Amino acid sequence: MKKILLIYNPNSGNGVFTVHLDMVVAAFAKKGLLVVPIRLGGRIEPDTAFKELDMGEYHKVIAAGGDGTINNVVNAMIRNDIHLPLAIFPAGTANDLAAYFEIPLVVEDMLRIALTDKYTPMDVGKAGDRYFVNVLAAGMLVDISQKTDPALKNTLGMASYYLKGLAAIPQYRNIPLRVKTEERDIHTKATAILVMNGRSAGGFKNVSPDSEISDGLLDVVLFKEILFPELLPTMMGILTGLHTESKKVEYFKTKHLWIEAENGDEVLTDIDGERGDPLPLEVSVLPSRLLINIGDSSETDSKKRSEMDVLDLNNIRVRIKDTDDYAELVELFIRNDLEYTEDDEITTDIVRCLRAETEGGELVGGCVLALREGRFICDGIAVDPPYRGSDTGARMLAMIEDTAMDKGAGELYLVARAPAFFAKYGYREINREDGPVFFECATCPQYGETCFPKVMKKTFY
């Protein structure tokens, strides 16, 4: 039996993740995977686990907590030469890395992603002997972060940073810095410097708007001697992502840099929200060092999926909405070569019908969710040929999946005329006798000639 190593911080954010532990364990157990939990703060830390466990038995690692917890796990993985995929359960205050990958904050949706086996490569930054996944920072922002009381941070969230920032203004100062790369040698007074792998830091979403987390480069954002009256406009610029256009900000990409304080003062650093080594520091990048679990386009936040029902295709807008007109969907299915017959006597309870229409109201796609023999099925899904290049079909499928899960379904069945399409979204072929009774294919003149349908199933948990 393959195992999942779950490393979680019970104190991250508001500490509610621990309430969901049993649900997480049960979900993986249904897939034949054993979850081995490691609680941070006890005798066993990530380094201990990676050294003492046989990691050849494990399928992936899950880090549940804030950016500091993820940093802790990643550092231990690199130190111990662990190359397993990493799933992220964001349960902290800022959750900057999760924001880059658009990993939702609802545990059920995090879990839905972690149950998939779709990954993307990610670079890792190296500062001295430490590694970072999102950001290395030095300067005033670090002073604010590291002086924030953890209890206040967990209670108020990101607001605590701003409250503490107001209290720190009397100590506001600029630091003489040297920043050296192969391409440049900068000597300047600076309010702060951030070396970014991701795009957000401390909850600010657009600190490094052009960052790509797998381009083999680090993005440097250097705030040059910002005077106190200029501080508020600069902070507003960060919120809008326009600060990189300011003359007070130098923004560039590099693979390697050296940072030091030229006045000899000890300048602290912050690595992914945790205290780092003081300057001077050599900073570099490890290209594509991690594989991050990201799920697929149908595995994103369920609320977002149900609301994003307007699609664009060659400047033609398609809207997906509910309909009570089942008959018009049957006509759509028939014209798209899905067989529906008048003499079908199989009992089906219709749960939800969707129609995809143009702005002029023309029906161009449809999907039906039904309940048969106590099991949820996709009773039909079709999109007219001119619109198959858009994600209309995938969006409708995601919407009925949401409905099925809201009603307690653990799985969804369908008969696939195009199995490859459904396989992209997590459906797997099963024996026909293992599914509910579907429409009879044997009497269809296309069966075995132009149509080779497969019975498929997707398991949610």
Say which CATH superfamily domain 302-459 falls into.
Gcn5-related N-acetyltransferase (GNAT) (3.40.630.30)
Task: Write the DSSP symbol of residue 213.
Answer: T
Give the pLDDT confidence score for residue 299 in this predicted structure.
Answer: 41
Distance CA 107, CA 117 (A): 18
Give the pLDDT confidence score for residue 240 in this predicted structure.
Answer: 53
Tracing tokens 């044997």 back to the chain, one arrives at 442
Distance CA 141, CA 158 (A): 13
Pair type for strands 274-275 and 86-90: unpaired
Give the pLDDT confidence score for residue 201 in this predicted structure.
Answer: 81
pTM of the model: 0.61
pLDDT averaged per 10 residues, the chain (length 461): 93 76 93 94 86 94 93 96 95 83 85 91 95 91 55 46 52 84 93 91 78 93 76 58 73 96 85 90 96 67 42 63 92 81 59 90 93 87 83 85 82 87 84 71 51 78 55
Any idea where the domains of the chain sit in the sequence? 3-117, 135-289, 302-459
Give the pLDDT confidence score for residue 264 in this predicted structure.
Answer: 75
**∠ Cα 129 213 132 (to 5°):** 20
Q: Which CATH architecture has domain 3-117?
A: 3-Layer(aba) Sandwich (3.40)
pLDDT digits (tens, 9 = 90+) for 380-392: 999 998 887 667 8
Q: Which CATH architecture has domain 135-289?
A: Sandwich (2.60)
102, two tokens: 């658009």
Neighbouring C-alpha atoms within 13 Å toward the C-beta of 316: 17
Pair type for strands 269-271 and 135-139: antiparallel
Give the pLDDT confidence score for residue 205 in this predicted structure.
Answer: 73
DSSP helix/strand/coil, 269: strand
Nearest to 372 by CA among 317, 415, 339: 415
Give the pLDDT confidence score for residue 29 in this predicted structure.
Answer: 94
DSSP labels, 287-331 = EEEEEEE---TTSS-HHHHHH--EEEETTEEEEEEE-S-HHHHHH
